[in-house]
Amino acid sequence: MTPALPSYLQQALSPTGYAKEHTRTPAYLEMCGGSGPADLDGFDRWVQRRLLNPASAMFREGGLLLREEPSISDPTSYAATLSAISAGSRRRSEIAAALGRPVSALAHLLNGLRSIGLVEQVDDALRDKRSVFRIAEPIVRLHQLITQRREPELVSGQAARVWRANADTVASKIYGPHFEDLAREWCFLHASGDTLGGIAGAVRPSEIPCRAHREGHELDIVVTETNSFATDRIIAIGEAKATLTPMDASQLQRLEHLRALLPDTRIGEQPKLLLFARSGFTGDLAEAARGRADVELVDLSRMYSGD
């Protein structure tokens, strides 16, 4: 029997996918033919037929969300901002550099996109007054990265070729960010106190400065527990990887290094280390984690059926 399509893959591209604090347009399901792909084998064909086909209702939806918004007076500038964020520019300085504009010129663009629900601002877990921006609607990310850029080929009926040629972009820019979102959501809504070492009051990303490497290290997951009489305490940190290859022991070593860089004022007991992997874990990593109460390995099965 052909295995059912994992929920993660359906959500990663489907415009009906769930994202915390946002409700997807109900009509999208009907616009996609009333259902998603039946199984994994049919996933690529479904994307080509329902999302990358110029005759489908969803083909231009990612662009229409912006162009049909009455409050947007300059769609071109807003679209360029969406494109920069979709491509991986997450901080104000990065977005400004991608657009060739000063940071001071971004406020109205980012505020406008936030007001219509296409972009979310996520505060840094460890650094005040520092935040990142993320695309809130999956269909917008797909439109900016694939549909808009390769429209002439798609219109000429080359959806299969375009989809294959952009496999790396899909994996890193669509699946990757979405999987990180799912991991944070799982920590906040589904993980048990035993798994996290406490109760999650907030789950956000961060960047930790490192003198040894002379750069900042991105941290996908920082779980903090709210304390009414003291500073919120970090109870867990984590890494989420949506690669096709299993996660290896180097990721555990990286998290151990980052845990040592956490500010002493924000931790009590030693924070737990959470490793999320789309494709599972190597034998070396599983062996290194075995018997360690401070390490949790979370694969797709556990994300969708465990805590």
Q: Give the CATH number of the domain where residue 197 resides.
A: 3.40.1350
For residue 176, pLDDT beyond 70: yes
Same domain, 134 and 144: no
Do 112 and 164 lie in a common domain? no
Tell me, yes or no, whether 171 and 197 share the same domain: no
19 and 36 in a single domain? The answer is: yes
pLDDT, average across residues 261-289? 95
Regarding whether 257 and 157 lie in a shared domain, the answer is no
Q: Cβ(214)–Cβ(239) under 8 Å? A: no
Question: Amino acid identity of 104?
Answer: S
Torsion of CA 47, 52, 57, 60, to 10 degrees: 130
Q: Is residue 211 part of a domain?
A: yes
- Alpha carbon distance 10, 197 (integer Å): 31
Q: What span, in angstroms and rounded, lies between the C-alpha atoms of 15 and 156? A: 24
Contact present, 154 and 164 (Cβ < 8 Å): no
pLDDT at 2 over 80: no
Q: With 60 as the cut, is the pLDDT of residue 16 above it?
A: no
- Look at residue 138 in the predicted model and tell me its pLDDT: 80
Assess whether pLDDT exceeds 90 at residue 15. no
User: In the prediction, which pLDDT does 25 show?
Assistant: 56
Higher pLDDT residue, 276 or 9?
Answer: 276
Residues 273, 156 share a domain: no
pLDDT in tens, 68-93: 888 887 888 999 999 999 999 999 99
Q: Looking at the chain, which runs of residues are DSSP E strands?
A: 119-123, 131-135, 202-210, 215-225, 233-241, 272-277, 295-298
**Are 196 and 184 spatial neighbours (Cβ–Cβ below 8 Å)?**
no
Spatial neighbors of 82 by CB under 8 A, at least 6 apart, are 66, 113, 118, 119, 135, 140, 144
Find, among 205, 264, 277, 191, the residue nearest to 233 by Cα.
Answer: 264
Residues 95 and 13 in one domain: no
Dist. CA 222–CA 181, nearest whole Å: 12
Q: How many domains does the chain have?
A: 3
Torsion-angle region of 55 (φ positive above 0: left; ψ -120 to 50: alpha; else: beta): alpha
Sort 17 into a burial class: Cβ within 10 Å, 0-12 / 13-18 / 19+: buried
pLDDT (0 to 100) of residue 80: 94
What does the pLDDT look like over 112-151, one tens digit per residue? 999 999 999 999 999 877 899 999 888 889 999 999 999 9
Burial state string for 257-296 with b = 16 or more CB within 10 A and e = fewer than 16: ebbebbeeeeeeeebbbbbbbbeebbeebeebbeeeeebb
Question: Same structural domain for residues 196 and 276?
Answer: yes
Residue 194 reports pLDDT greater than 90: yes
Mean pLDDT of the chain: 88
Within-domain flag for 2: no
Q: Give the tens place of pLDDT for each residue, 212-238.
A: 888 889 999 999 998 877 788 999 999
> What is the domain-level CATH number for residue 110?
1.10.10.10
Residue 243 shares a structural domain with residue 115: no
Residue 34: the pLDDT is 81
Confidence of residue 3 (pLDDT cuts 50, 70, 90): very low
Helices (H) and strands (E) in the chain, counts: 16, 7
- Whether residue 153 sits in one domain with residue 51: yes
What is the predicted pLDDT for the residue at 134? 92
What is the spatial distance between Cα 290 and Cα 279, in angstroms, rounded to a whole number?
A: 18
Query: Based on the domain organization, do 156 and 38 belong to the same domain?
Result: yes
Model confidence band, residue 6 (pLDDT cutoffs 50, 70, 90): very low
- Residues 204 and 249 both lie in one domain: yes
Instruction: Convert 222-241 to b/e letters by CB count within 10 Å (16 or more is b).
Output: bbbbeeeeeeebbbbbbbbb
- Which pTM does this prediction carry? 0.84
Which residue did the predictor score with more confidence, 38 or 154? 154
Q: How many Å apart are CA 149 and CA 244, to the nearest integer?
A: 25
Residue span of the structural domain in which 132 resides = 65-138
Phi-psi region of 203 (alpha: psi -120 to 50; beta: other; left: phi over 0): beta
